[in-house]
Amino acid sequence: MMNTLPHLYNYSLPDLELLLRSWGQPAYRARQIYRQLYANLAADPAEMTDLPLALRERLAAEAQMTTLELVRLQTADEELTRKALFRIPGGEVVESVLMIYPDRATVCVSTQAGCAMGCVFCATGRLGLLRNLSAGEIVEQVIWAARELKGLRTEGRGLSRQSSVLSPQSSVLTNVVFMGMGEPFANYDRWWQSVERLHDPQGFNLGARSMTVSTVGQVTGIRRLAGEALPINLAISLHAPDDELRSEMMPINRRYPIAELLAATREYIARTKRRVSFEYVLLQGKNDTPEQAAALGEVLHGLLCHVNLIPWNPVPGAPLGRSERARVLRFQQVLQECGIACTVRVERGVAIAAACGQLAGVPVETGAMSEAIIALSE
């Protein structure tokens, strides 16, 4: 049975003030709680020592601070990639991945359990959509990552190279990418609430430019994002230079073909003046030829954009192959010769199925690993 107590991470500050007022508490108590949740990263009401004992006890009895159950934590890349498997209310599972670099720390979070988009190279798409996550469930994944870094910073637990890697820039969470399980624009309202909550200067206070959302190319979401006040970064999964191939790889293209997608992208760039990233997963002999690179360069000509090339990571049962390194570099060279800014993404988490395209939630009772598509912002 799902817990029906209010989940505090689902509450904006005004909503939290209303809840506290209904409890007979002044508004400043809500602000104290909000600061404890987002700035102090309190994991339990008992840690909120600036609150009266009676209020802490009521919070413990009548509200939830945690709805995600951590089932498994795996590490790779000398423990600098940390993948958490969470069970969410209702029994589904999602994953979040924390990546620690010398100059930054990035968390990739999920916005849905499962995914309805059906991309052939992605394990998550085989699940179908299980359910949307609430704003609080999305936010809580970010809070987990921030607490994880705090523990590494203050306790030195679980990180073999802490002293040499946790620089001032990477000892706190610097970036959030909404590139985990699901299509964020298919859960737009709740996803955007999480963006606003994380950006709130009175709370987590993460800069808008420190957040990136990835979409398979949902045109209505791109146009809607162009009108939002917060200038978060946009990444679009493209993966093919023509409609025939893209429709074969990504069913969304039948609804929003490349011409319509690029028209929306041009509108977005014109309104926001912001560069768009295109993600391109390379599959041996399918979309990785020099001719296809040249075609892609022609398609993207004149756009304020950058291309992230992503060598495909194997998904069990998928009849696809990973592009050889020489083909990846040749593809990159041709794109660059076309005047398109282009990089090959640094791979992280392959050993624990945390790399791009490898994640697909499965029942944890089977002992199998939950996996969810992620793509890391460079």
pLDDT in tens, 193-206: 999 999 999 999 99
Could you tell me the two tokens for 377? 């912002």
Average pLDDT over residues 296-314: 93
Same domain, 50 and 160: no
**Complete DSSP assignment for 21-61:** HHTT--HHHHHHHHHHHHTS--SSGGG-TTS-HHHHHHHHH
Two tokens, residue 23: 């409890």
Rounded CA gap, 48 and 55, in Å? 10
Q: Is 108 a catalytic site residue?
A: no
Tokens of 25: 């508490």
Work out the pLDDT band at 167, boundaries 50, 70, 90.
Answer: confident
* Tally of structural domains, the chain: 2
Co-location of 162 and 299 in the same domain: yes
95 is catalytic: yes
* Residue 89 CB neighbour total at 10 angstroms: 18
In the numeric block, the tokens 């979040």 are attached to: 96
Under a CB-based contact definition with an 8 Å cutoff, are residues 50 and 32 in contact? yes
The stretch 127-138 carries a mean pLDDT of 94
Catalytic residue among 95, 137, 140, 279: 95
**Is 196 a domain residue?**
yes
173 vs 65: CA distance, rounded Å: 20
Phi, psi dihedral angles at 75 (to 5 degrees): -130, 155
Which residue among 108, 137, 356, 371 is the active-site one? 356
Whether residue 348 is contained in a domain is answered as yes
Least confident of 68-77, 177-186, 258-267, 349-358: 349-358
Q: Tell me which amino acid residue 112 is.
A: Q
The answer on pLDDT for 329 being more than 60 is yes
Q: Tell me, yes or no, whether 3 lies in a domain.
A: no
Domain-embedded: residue 280? yes
The share of the chain scoring above pLDDT 90, in percent, equals 75
Mean pLDDT of the chain: 88
Structure confidence at residue 371 (pLDDT)? 34
- pLDDT value at position 88? 95
CA separation (Å) from 283 to 61, 121, 253, 287? 52, 9, 18, 6
Tokens (6 digits) for 76: 């790779």
Q: Are residues 75 and 56 in the same domain?
A: no
Range in 40-49, 305-314, 333-342 with the lowest mean pLDDT: 305-314
Same domain? 43 vs 160: no
Domain extent for 192: 69-366
